[in-house]
Structure 1
């Protein structure tokens, strides 16, 4: 269909969802057509990249499926959206069409043994709260704790995850219910490796309507806040702390300059490098001894259900985001990994002017976000190759193309979306990024 009839689609969506479930209002359309892409100066130079013609707000997984079916019937492109916490344009509707905002589909279906099932719009912190009530916790815990489960799984990078289990494509997903243009409005249930085909590809092969993810027994977590006179002190203990057993949920550290940009907290003393841990209560004394033996000091130890959330939201790319807010238009970042982040930190920092690292103890090796002063896309890409030469794995976040399991996604989408209606512009088979050694 060369000229989709948006008026007819809007009428059908109104019949399905009611007048509050669909909008053609320009303010709503613009709001649904942006994410955090301004965090990337490379992408920011290209914005805006597209505006939705319509926005739908389904409230259940079945309604998500029905909305997609209506759009397909009218030949309208469909871009899925969670809570818009992505940072690199994956939820921007480059071809216009319909944005399916899943954030109102928040039902938590229930817990069955070591899994929890929820509709796509359920926030991650709500899943964690439901799990805690049953003596369990999420198998991994993200930095964007307010993001929706569907957006988190369908979006870009794996995020913080946990030291024990890695990122969200490493066993976290038990099953998905997805809708595709060829499924006729019926949810398709997929499990295990088949479910992985719909993770991290921005809905280009199928849109996640409901997810089942893994849980584990609840631990008694503490939030441990420490500081060192300099970043070298934090680096000296990061890997040791990350290898404690039972594994901490997170070990995260920042340079003194980045620390100074974080939200005000007495646990972030001026002029010092902050180190933060989500650590099992049984390990507080051991972690304290390691930190103090290396010249650090404990600023605070906090407990309660909000501990994980408070520290996780200051991990992954969030400290760099605070840095960018303090000096708008100055900094960019790349995702990095490897022991060179500790062993060759001075060389790593020197790759980009104003280089500063946010670092975390990763599942196998340290991971982090390297910030630098933005000059040009070419300077960013040249720096990526220099980092590779130092033994640093790099993932370039300054693009919106699917780059996780790209070949498999292209093959799957040829079957599930032969007309190319799902999130057009995000699945380029010829894409070859300037990086190697991706962190996933």
Structure 2
């Protein structure tokens, strides 16, 4: 039997599951935001699943896994589909397991949440706030993204300025993972053990539960801050990040050409001004303003936390990779890179890029803490795309200046964030937990 026939047999055997069979649903749920990359857009445009299924609990998932293994059906697991690397796009058809109905909040207590992987981060944030807590880390796509998707394919986000990326010790406390075997096993992991499943695109097991640490909730005010000089904006952002007495949730820097893609910025910035988006607690306004004056900046636009809660419009959605989405809406010839800068050489590296390529590459910086709490500057610079060859040249130019690039224009695990190779531990877990190589086929280059 073919993969399509085996997938249809899977539906016939398990008719009580929630199957989505319409071509429109299959096409939509077979995609993520891969089209941010012109290279991935060309490579993945025709890839799709044969069927979509939405398990609602662990028992349904176990039934499904038993039959997928028996019938040799490829499996791709997805959450909200907000990733940008094609990580939830099936390369070989089969079934997509959409986890968004597997979304129960088990409990919140003592600053810890136990949650099923399909719960949207926005919903988890709301539930946590009812108990006086909030998420330590969430992407700018938090309204759509799931907690399982963040752990399986994400890095950092809003809150990482305090708590580091999602992989920092103490952020994810425990995980339960289901293997792709008949019958499947449940693996229970704590602490560092969970990291073998972080940013692996669901290739070495299916997350069924996470325990994540929370942060005390704050009232966050939002500011667009304007600077005539980019160096002043960067110095302000670094000082804010290092100011232990100022409560903040996100600090992002954009040069004038990148800020022009945001409606509020274009309406409130003067020509040539650079932008800092600052998410700051209400009780830290006064010291922030003192620092702002010292660094020669001004408030271009702001709203208090109550206004944001009422109008549901937040500057958080202009940070991290959501900014790329805003830019692409105005100019679909743009794309982006993912860059890690040296904090102590940041301005030197930015100047080197500008000297070699001019305004072909924009500036978008996110200031966070690394896993050891030191200052860490990551970026998502906008690129004026022309050809694949020129894109590779731009990557090489960044690397020659000591800027590390996590290539967002590839869909294999090794060639993106993992820096060329997967750890032996991840490869071993892949072989042990997916012995038939059915999970997200084609995404682990080492095994292709």
TM-score, shorter chain, exceeding 0.5: yes
Deviates more, 1:344-353 or 1:410-419: 344-353
1:412 corresponds, among 429, 440, 444, to 429
**Cα displacement (A) at 1:100:** 0.4
| Residues 86/309 of structure 1: CA separation in 2 closer, same or farther (3 Å cut) | farther
Range moving further from structure 2, 354-363 or 2-11: 2-11
The 10-residue stretch of structure 1 (329-338 or 112-121) with the greater mean CA deviation from structure 2: 329-338
Paired residues, what number? 427
2:12 is matched with 11
Inter-CA distance 262–61: structure 2 relative to 1 (3 Å threshold): farther
- Give the Cα separation in 2 of the matches to 1:345 and 1:424: 38
Could you tell me which residue of structure 2 aligns to residue 148 of structure 1? Answer: 146
Equivalent pair of 2:137/2:157 in contact (CA under 8 Å): no
Report how far residue 229 of structure 1 moved.
Answer: 2.6
Partner residue, 1:427: 444
Query: Taking structure 1 as reference, are residues 113 and 415 closer, same or farther at Cα in structure 2, changes over 3 Å only?
Result: same
Alpha carbons 1:142, 1:161 under 8 Å: kept:
no
Distance change in 2, residues 1:194/1:329 (3 Å): same
Contact 1:178 1:188 (C-alpha < 8 Å) held by counterparts: yes
Q: TM-score, normalised by structure 1?
A: 0.90
User: Aligned partners of 1:65, 1:263: CA distance in 2, in Å?
Assistant: 47
In structure 2, the CA distance between the partners of 1:350 and 1:104, relative to structure 1 (3 Å rule), is farther
Q: 1:140 to 1:47 in 2, by over 3 A?
A: closer
Task: Look up the match of 2:372.
Answer: none
Deviation (angstroms), 1:85: 0.5
Task: Please give the per-residue CA displacement for 1:266-318, whole angstroms capped at 9, x wherever unaligned.
Answer: 98435332211122333211111111222211232522394798232211122
Partner of 1:192: 191
CA distance in 2, matches of 1:66, 1:118: 21
Question: Which residue in 2 is equivalent to 1:310?
Answer: 314
* CA distance, structure 2, for counterparts of residue 337 and residue 183 of structure 1: 45
- Quick one: distance in 2 between partners of 1:54 and 1:144? 26
List gaps (5 residues or longer) in structure 2.
370-374
* 1:327 maps to 2:324: no
Q: CA deviation at 1:164?
A: 1.7
Residue 178 of structure 1 pairs with residue 177 of structure 2: yes
Which whole-Å CA distance do the structure 2 matches of 1:123 and 1:248 have between them? 23
TM-score, normalised to structure 2, is: 0.88
Please list every run of 5 or more consecutive structure 1 residues that lacks an aligned counterpart in the other structure: 432-440
Instruction: Report SS of the residue matched to 1:45.
Output: helix
The answer (yes or no) to whether the contact 1:228–1:273 under 8 Å persists in 2 is yes
- CA distance in structure 2 between the partners assigned to 1:182 and 1:369 by the alignment: 39
In the other structure, the counterpart of 1:277 is: 278
- Give the Cα–Cα distance (whole angstroms) in 2 for the partners of residues 88 and 183 of structure 1: 30
Please list the CA deviations of residues 44-79 of structure 1 after superposition, one character each: whole Å capped at 9, or x if unmatched.
122325210111011234433432332122110100
* Aligned position for 1:438: none
Q: Which residue of 2 aligns with 1:240?
A: 239
Match of 2:19 among 16, 19, 22: 22
Tell me the distance in 2 between the aligned counterparts of 1:220 and 1:283: 10
Q: 1:61 to 1:154 in 2, by over 3 A?
A: farther
1:40 to 28, 37, 40: 37
Which shows bigger deviation, 356-365 or 152-161? 152-161
Query: Contact (CA 8 Å) 2:413, 2:444: kept in 1 or not?
Result: yes
Distance 1:239 1:59, change over 3 A: same
Pairwise CA RMSD: 2.4
Cα distance in structure 2, aligned partners of 1:293 and 1:351: 31
Match of 1:97 in 2: 94
Cα distance in 2 between the residues matched to 1:252 and 1:377: 28
CA contact (8 A) 2:107 2:113 kept: yes
